[in-house]
């Protein structure tokens, strides 16, 4: 019997019970749609995480101050002003594998221009800070070496601050006030959008590192004064060249662990930490964080796919059950076909074709619903979605596999019926 004849007979048999055929395919439809939507969300989450980490730079280390003790009370990490620009320069000079090293201090307050003002955070940055953190200028020329060397009263605005203070007006060359200190706008940063933690990356202003320490820290900044008053050491004894963070990048990813160890050894020597004593700083390897989060997201994607595949499994079992019922209902038809010369192989192929048509038809509808669901998820929710053609191919393969696997047993059972016994029933 030709393949076209078998296909025609399978379609005729399914059309005779079209409602049952649709309900049988429903499990496959739901399973395929769920697989596409959930895998697309998982891949979108992975892609968004990769984008965020790429913007930070994977070949980098972050050095933070450690915790301190005040009155016998253990204080949080970062409360001890243990890092200085001397540490930054020592890392640059004594570890040749280091590509860039930058330091910064942070604060916050009102930025004022004419009758407008905006509450934001500011950062005092060293020369390599823009390169290390992939900041680009959208307007202006940015800081000059003279600004860094003389604590120049220059400022670079983030895109959000520029919009809030100047609207559509010209920002570069204007004078703004930060903590009552007048500063000249020398540049505007290109927009970065949302941070990985949901904040506004563009709501920031930057000034040279020495400018922040000499002119802003403690100048109209009650938060800084309060932090100094409660620190482990009196404010008068705090180092004047302190920094809140040092960021280090290396050219080769394979050097990260070695550089991390070298930085730890160097800073312990500089800070005169005795063997066995706790570090007054911490070094974080972002590549390890990236690997951990990537693995976590990948596992979540697999979990979502596995959960969705359960629906596909249930749909396949439904196909097998209905096909077994169909074999029982059509025993006389099977016996008659065998009696007039139809071999077991033709019977097996017909029932297998019916299972494949149900599975592939349900798969096609499920793919369409899944694509629509993924697009709707991306449009109406905040979940990131990546609709990859490989997911569609995977769903199609699942449809074929479901039809073959769950349709084979009923088809085999039908082909092994004894035609004489079948005609007697």
Residue-wise pLDDT for 192-250, tens only, equals 877 655 678 899 999 999 999 888 885 444 444 444 444 434 333 345 688 999 999 98
Higher pLDDT, 268 or 221: 268
Check whether 411 has a pLDDT greater than 50. Answer: yes
Of 25-34, 54-63, 287-296, give the range with the top mean pLDDT.
25-34
**For the residues 78-95, what does the mean pLDDT come to?**
85
For the chain, what percent of residues have pLDDT higher than 70? 79
- Look at residue 321 in the predicted model and tell me its pLDDT: 83
Work out the number of other CB atoms within 10 angstroms of the CB of residue 247.
23
Question: What average pLDDT does the segment 408-412 reach?
Answer: 81
pLDDT class for 179, splitting at 50, 70, 90? confident
CA–CA separation, 119 vs 355, rounded Å?
Answer: 66
Which pLDDT belongs to residue 421? 67
Angle between helices 18-56 and 3-16 (to 10 degrees): 100
Lowest mean pLDDT among 266-270, 281-285, 307-311, 349-353: 307-311
Residue 397: CB atoms within 10 Å: 11
Higher pLDDT, 315 or 297: 315
HSE value, Cβ hemisphere, 13 Å, CA-based, for 292:
5
Question: Higher-confidence residue: 227 or 328?
Answer: 328
Could you state, in order of their start, the residue ranges of all structural domains in the chain?
3-53+293-424, 60-251
Quick check: 125 pLDDT over 50? yes
The β-bridge partners of 181 are 178
Cα distances from 181 to residues 207, 214, 342, 381, in angstroms, run 12, 11, 97, 43
pLDDT score for 122: 94
Band the pLDDT of 110: cuts 50, 70, 90: very high
Choice between 192 and 54, residue whose per-residue pLDDT is larger:
192
Tokens of 152: 């120049």
Nearest to 216 by CA among 122, 289, 290, 129: 122
Cα–Cα dist 124/304, whole Å: 44
* Residue 340, number of CB atoms within 10 A of its CB: 8
Q: Inform me whether the pLDDT recorded for 1 exceeds 60.
A: no
Quickly state the pLDDT bin for 423 (edges 50, 70, 90): low
Per-residue pLDDT for 63 more than 50?
yes
Instruction: Give the pLDDT confidence score for residue 292 in this predicted structure.
Output: 66
């Amino acid at each position: 019997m030709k393949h076209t004849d078998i296909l025609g007979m399978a379609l005729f048999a399914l059309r005779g019970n079209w409602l049952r055929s649709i309900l049988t395919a429903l499990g496959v439809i739901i399973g395929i749609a769920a697989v596409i939507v959930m895998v697309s969300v998982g891949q979108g989450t992975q892609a968004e995480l990769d984008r965020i980490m790429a913007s930070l730079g994977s070949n980098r280390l972050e050095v933070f101050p450690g915790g301190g003790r005040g009155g016998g009370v253990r204080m949080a990490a970062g409360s001890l002003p243990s890092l200085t620009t001397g540490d930054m320069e020592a890392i640059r000079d004594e570890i040749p594998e280091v590509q860039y090293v930058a330091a910064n201090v942070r604060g916050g307050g009102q930025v004022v221009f004419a009758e407008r003002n905006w509450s934001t955070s500011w950062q005092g940055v060293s020369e390599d800070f823009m390169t290390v953190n992939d900041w680009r200028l959208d307007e202006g020329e940015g800081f000059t070496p003279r600004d860094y060397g003389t604590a120049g009263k220059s400022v670079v605005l983030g895109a959000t601050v520029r919009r809030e203070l100047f609207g559509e007006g010209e920002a570069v060359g204007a004078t703004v006030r930060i903590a009552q200190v007048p500063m000249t706008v020398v540049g505007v940063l290109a927009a970065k959008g949302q941070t990985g933690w949901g904040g506004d990356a563009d709501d920031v202003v930057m000034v040279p590192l020495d400018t922040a320490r000499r002119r802003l820290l403690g100048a109209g900044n009650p938060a800084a004064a309060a932090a100094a008053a409660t620190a482990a050491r009196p404010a008068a004894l705090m180092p004047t060249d302190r920094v809140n963070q040092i960021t280090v990048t290396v050219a080769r990813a394979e050097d990260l662990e070695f550089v991390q160890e070298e930085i730890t050894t160097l800073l312990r020597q500089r800070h005169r930490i005795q063997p066995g004593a706790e570090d007054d700083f911490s070094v974080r390897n972002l590549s390890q964080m990236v690997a951990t989060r990537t693995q976590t997201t990948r596992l979540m994607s697999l979990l979502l796919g596995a959960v969705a595949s359960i629906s596909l499994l249930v749909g396949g079992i439904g196909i097998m059950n209905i096909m077994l019922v169909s074999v029982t209902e059509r025993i006389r038809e099977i016996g008659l076909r065998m009696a007039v010369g139809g071999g077991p192989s033709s019977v097996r192929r017909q029932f297998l074709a019916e299972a494949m048509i149900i599975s592939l038809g349900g798969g096609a509808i499920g793919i369409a619903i899944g694509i629509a669901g993924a697009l709707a998820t991306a449009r109406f929710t905040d979940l990131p979605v990546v609709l990859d053609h490989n997911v569609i191919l995977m769903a199609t393969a699942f449809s074929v596999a479901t039809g073959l696997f769950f349709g084979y047993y009923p088809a085999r059972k039908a082909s092994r019926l004894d035609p004489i016994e079948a005609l007697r029933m």
